[in-house]
Each structure stands twice: as structure tokens, then as C-alpha cells.
Structure 1
Amino acid sequence: MRLLLDTHLILWALDDSPRLPPQVRYLIEDATNELFYSVASAWEVQIKHMNAPLKMLIDGDTLMSRCDEGGLIQLPVAGRHVGTLKSLARNPEAKPHKDPFDRMLIAQAKADGLLLLTHDSLLSGYNEPCVLVV
């Protein structure tokens, strides 16, 4: 499978955190899967690090370096991803979701035929088969 990891899952995987769901750990360790990380995740981490370095200990460059070292494939943000944002289907009864980084990850997964793995239950409000909340 071609899997795009959301920002939290990347951070938990890099830290070998017990918060990483076991099924995600299994998918990461399965060598038949292609693992992707988005530049949007590095951008999000960098902004959080600049705003609160004591809370977000890692910066965007370090995140990208560690993902690259771990064999994850870097997914840049491209025009097709921006264009896909307008076609994201959302359940009108779902709780509001305003995180632009999450929306970009969904758009990237949809545009590039990836499965976005996330632990964020708010993303289940999207009617997109490319989103898997774990």
C-alpha cells in the first residue's frame, strides 16, 4: 500500500512513542508498503517549533532529515494538491474542522492515490475513501 502518515503519526513513530497505534506500527514495519511524508507536515512542525520550542522540540528540517533517513518518501506540495482542496467531500453534520495542514494532507492523498493514516478523529468527518482514522 501507498501510505501517507499524518504529522502526529510521524512524530510518534520517530520517537518510538507508545501512543503510536499498534496497527500503524505494523503497517510502518511492513516492507511491502510505501511510506510517504508531506512537506506540509514539516511546515506545520516548523511553525509550531518557532511558536513554542519547548512544546515542539523538533524543527521542520530535523523532521525531514529523520523521515528521509527512515526511508519515507518526501511528498512536496504541488498545484494539483491545491486544486484538489476544493473537491474534498465533508459530511455536513460532522464537527467543524479548520486545520489547513490536515486538509492539505487529505488533498495530497486524494490527488496522488495514497491512503492517509491519521489518529485525528475529526478527519472521519470527510467523506473521502483516502482517509483512514486509526
Structure 2
Amino acid sequence: MEYILDTHAFIWYAAGDKQLSTKARNLIDNLNNENQIFLSIVSIWEISIKLSIGKLEFKKPLKEVLDEQIELNNYQILDIKMEHTEKIIDLPFHHRDPFDRLLIGQSIIEKMPIISIDENFEKYQELSVVW
């Protein structure tokens, strides 16, 4: 099955943070090789902004963290498509965060559940959320 990582899920997994649910960790660990995990360029953009304004810190440069995680977990990078941006036009405003809205649009258009703890995501009927 294919899944999209929400930004915090990627950060928590990369950091070994215990806030990541066991179910989410098991999906990402993909021990039985049944899952394909996608990391959106939207999340990389959001992480870059958080790093630049001091809201997030990694022990290594972002490129190293990304390269390491992509190699270890066989993540696929999900680019932004026109359909993703068009989808957010129709989304109700349960969520105002532009990064999350685009991730929601990607998840719906690509028909991939999103791995996220964000309770606001549950309000979107078309969206499948796993935590």
C-alpha cells in the first residue's frame, strides 16, 4: 500500500521520537516490504522554513538527514502537481495551514492515506488518515 507522510511524522520518525504511534512506525518501517512511503516536496519545503526560522533543529544538515532517510526507508519523493493545487480550492477550511492543505490535496488526488496525528485531518471526508 502507498502512504504519504505528514511533515511531523517524518520528523518524529527521523528523530526516533516516541510521539510517533506504533502503527505509524510499523508502516514506515515496512518490515514486510508491502508499503511504499512517499515524502512530499511540500514537507521538505516546510522543514526548510522551520529550520531557517529556528523552529526546528537537526543534528545534521537537512540534505544529510533526507539522503539518509530516503536511502534507509526507500522513500519516494512526491512532487507537486497542478491537480494537487487545484484540489485545495474545493477543500473546506478545517485547516488553514497551507502546507497541510496541500498535503491533504496530494493525499486525496493520489488516493493515498496520510500518516498523521493531526485531528483536523479527520474532518475531511475524502481523506484517509492513519495513526
Fold-level similarity (TM above 0.5)? yes
Match of 1:43 in 2: 45
- Structure 1 stretches of at least 4 aligned residues deviating more than 3 Å after TM superposition: 58-64
Q: How does 1:50-69 map to 2 (within 5 A)?
A: 50-52=52-54, 55-58=55-58, 60-69=62-71
C-alpha displacement of 1:87:
2.7
Structure with the larger helix share = 2
Structure 2 alignment gaps of length 5 or more: none
Structure 1 alignment gaps of length 5 or more: none
- Tell me if the contact between 2:24 and 2:130 (Cα under 8 Å) persists in the aligned partners: no
- Tell me if the contact between 1:3 and 1:114 (Cα under 8 Å) persists in the aligned partners: yes
Q: Which amino acid aligns with 2:96?
A: K
Q: How does 1:6-45 map to 2 (within 5 A)?
A: 6-30=6-30, 31-45=33-47
Using a 3 Å threshold, how does the CA distance of structure 1 residues 62 and 98 change in structure 2: closer, same or farther? farther
Q: TM-score when scaled to structure 2?
A: 0.85
Using a 3 Å threshold, how does the CA distance of structure 1 residues 7 and 62 change in structure 2: closer, same or farther? farther
The number of aligned residues is 126
C-alpha displacement of 1:66:
3.3
Q: For the aligned residues, what is the CA RMSD?
A: 1.8
